[in-house]
Amino acid sequence: MALIHLLPLLASLQFLPWPVSPADPHPAPTFSIDPRKDEYLLGDTVALTCSADPLPVPIREFHFYSDKGLAVTARVSSRWKQTYNLNITGPRDAGEYSCAYYTGRPGHFTKSRHSDGITIKVKDPPAEPMLSVNPPSREANEGHPLVITCTASGHAAERRFHFYQHGAEIEAGSETHITEPDTPPWNVAVLSIPRADTNSSGEYSCGYEEKDSGRWIPSTRSQAVMVTLKGPPAEPMLSVNPPSREANEGHPLVITCTASGHAAERRFHFYQHGAEIEAGSETHITAPDTPPWNVAVLSIPRADTNSSGEYSCGYEEKDSGRWIPSTRSQAVMVTLKEPLPPSVLRVNPSSGAVDEGLPLNFTCMAPKVPSEQRFHFYKNGTKIDTSASEPELTIPQAGLDMAGEFTCGYEEKVNGRWVASPRSQAVTVTVKGVTSLPIPLVAGAAAGVLALVLLLLLLCLCVRKRKGSRWSINRTEKDGSISSYSPIPLASMNPDTF
């Protein structure tokens, strides 16, 4: 059979006038189809045969018509009939078909009547499947799984699925995996991409074939879905307190991890030398438990040699039920600063022994630094309440209670924090009290003093007698009469009588 041309026409085309002779039209041909079925499947091929009764004139052309507006003109391959093979490729091939023939020569054709119509029914193709993407946002996280699922409705004896990217079929390989059903109901197939990358973005669709009467019948393809590639969560920022990144031994070290933006939920991680730090007795991690989930803190109460090193942090964001890790922060090097040199305590008197009631002076000696300093003094380990800015402590009168062990220390202001030095070596202070004399010795001394006073009085009396007058002394005589001594003026006395 030689097909000359295929013309898409409206149904009315079959009634377009042809240049024919005024003679009556020829009788209608016989129209047949092989094989005859109630319903045809996609991929079927049917033979449409148009047969005319013998005529006195030759048949020039056979025409095949469809109510969809299709016309096929064919040169005759035999004298009285022509067969046209119709491939069923889709629902558009369904409809009513008929045929006619022409005799004569160009400009003087005579058309036959139309044959009886034959209706061709085409079975609808399998229903369009549904394509879904995980994550549902259709934003694939770089380096994380991308899962595309093709779901067919209804039931079938058997199905096989196909996935397409940018219209080209995807074949399972090292970077992709296609899981097809191997048992009924044959409804779902999955395309898995373990680690999404730039090649994973694009337009995806899917389709399937159903096995019907021994043949695979393709479905229409699903609606296309656009998948974009989403980068990892933004890199966080790591900060250290003290800002100098020099941890003072025995003092707190605080490392803070800050994430930008907002997320449904985050969880943070800290790393030292690349290994994750777990919260424990020496460390404490405070992570957010309420929105905006932006900041987490690693606290080391007392820094030591194990605290120095390279620190970094990262976090995970919850996206579509999955934890997506961020890139790690830039690493920060933390060093351990040597402790301050110990102070030296000087005491005056240098022996540390002082008599009760005498002054006692302490001096706390520390290296001179441009930053602020404050000093502290301790007795038997207990801090003495003094002015903290002065390196000297003076006790004007030492009491017996001042005996004991004295130490001192100082603090320097470093990066806004007071850092304490080790305490000085202890200095022992003793206080010597005033000694009391024994009672007999005191009594003897008092008697001596009294005798000395009496002696002085007698001497004074004697001197006065010699210089001034004689005293008469009254006394009682043996007979009971009183004799008296009266002073006699010295002038009337004869010196020769003495």
80 and 163 co-located in one domain: no
pLDDT in tens, 39-76: 998 889 999 999 999 888 888 889 999 988 777 887 77
Q: How many domains does the chain have?
A: 4
pLDDT of residue 10: 31
Task: Give the torsion through C-alpha atoms of 91, 96, 101, 106, to 10 deg.
Answer: -60
Last residue of a domain, one of 285, 314, 337: 337
Kindly tell me if the per-residue pLDDT of 446 is higher than 70. no
Backbone angles phi, psi at 109, to 5 degrees: -75, 145
Nearest of 326, 195, 329, 331 to residue 267 by alpha carbon: 326
Domain that holds residue 192: 130-230
User: Does residue 453 belong to any structural domain of this protein?
Assistant: no
pLDDT of residue 6: 38
User: Does residue 476 belong to any structural domain of this protein?
Assistant: no
Kindly tell me if the per-residue pLDDT of 495 is higher than 70. no
pLDDT band at 444 (very low <50, low <70, confident <90, very high): low
pLDDT in tens, 105-135: 777 888 999 999 999 999 888 999 999 999 9
Are residues 249 and 339 in contact, defined by beta-carbon separation less than 8 angstroms?
yes
Last residue of a domain, one of 230, 253, 268: 230
pLDDT band at 261 (very low <50, low <70, confident <90, very high): confident
pLDDT of residue 472: 39
11 and 114 co-located in one domain: yes
Average of per-residue pLDDT across 454-467: 66
User: Does residue 461 belong to any structural domain of this protein?
Assistant: no
Last residue of a domain, one of 120, 146, 176: 120
Other Cβ atoms less than 10 A from the Cβ of 322: the count is: 13
218 and 249 co-located in one domain: no
Are residues 125 and 39 in contact, defined by beta-carbon separation less than 8 angstroms?
no
369 and 311 co-located in one domain: no
108 and 137 co-located in one domain: no
User: Does residue 493 belong to any structural domain of this protein?
Assistant: no
Burial of 290 (0-12, 13-18, 19+ CB in 10 A): exposed
Angle at 103 between CA 101 and CA 109, to 5 degrees: 105
pLDDT in tens, 132-163: 999 998 999 888 899 999 999 988 888 999 99
Residues whose CB falls within 8 Å of the CB of residue 105, separated by 6 or more in sequence, listed in order: 60
242 and 198 co-located in one domain: no
CATH code (residue 44): 2.60.40.10
Longest dimension (CA), the chain: 227
pTM of the predicted structure, to 2 decimals: 0.54
Alpha-carbon gap, residue 331 to 312, rounded angstroms: 5
167 and 265 co-located in one domain: no
In 318-437, where does DSSP find H-type helix?
none
User: Does residue 73 belong to any structural domain of this protein?
Assistant: yes
pLDDT band at 466 (very low <50, low <70, confident <90, very high): low
User: Does residue 246 belong to any structural domain of this protein?
Assistant: yes
202 and 287 co-located in one domain: no
